[in-house]
């Protein structure tokens, strides 16, 4: 889950009280949460020059064992 830090802290306390295993992952924001909307413009600007390219390291399939 993601959300406001205070709400997450409350959720963790409730999970612990009910015997549900849960832990906080230390990140500045969850890329799947609404907080990322606050930095979307900045992030898009910072990543504007990033373009796909071929890599130089061979990549092998874990399914077929062949070179991809």
Domain ranges within the chain, ordered by starting residue: 5-46
In whole angstroms, what is the distance from residue 65 CA to residue 33 CA? Answer: 36
Closest CA to 7 of 20, 21, 24, 19: 24
59: pLDDT strictly greater than 80: yes
Question: What is the predicted pLDDT for the residue at 4?
Answer: 84
Give the Cα separation of 45 and 19 in Å (integer). 43
Paired with 38 in beta bridges are: none
Q: Does the pLDDT value for residue 35 go beyond 90?
A: no
pLDDT-wise least confident of 10-19, 30-39, 48-57? 30-39
What confidence tier does 12 reach under pLDDT thresholds 50, 70, 90?
Answer: very high
d(CA 5, CA 7): 6
Distance (Å, whole) CA 12 – CA 49: 39
């Amino acid at each position: 889950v993601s959300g406001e830090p205070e709400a997450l802290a409350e959720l963790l306390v409730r999970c612990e009280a009910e015997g549900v295993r849960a832990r906080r992952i230390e990140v500045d924001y969850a890329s799947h949460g609404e907080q990322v909307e606050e930095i979307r413009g900045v992030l898009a600007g910072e990543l504007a020059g990033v373009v796909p390219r071929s890599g130089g390291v061979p990549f092998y399939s874990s399914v077929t064992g062949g070179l991809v």
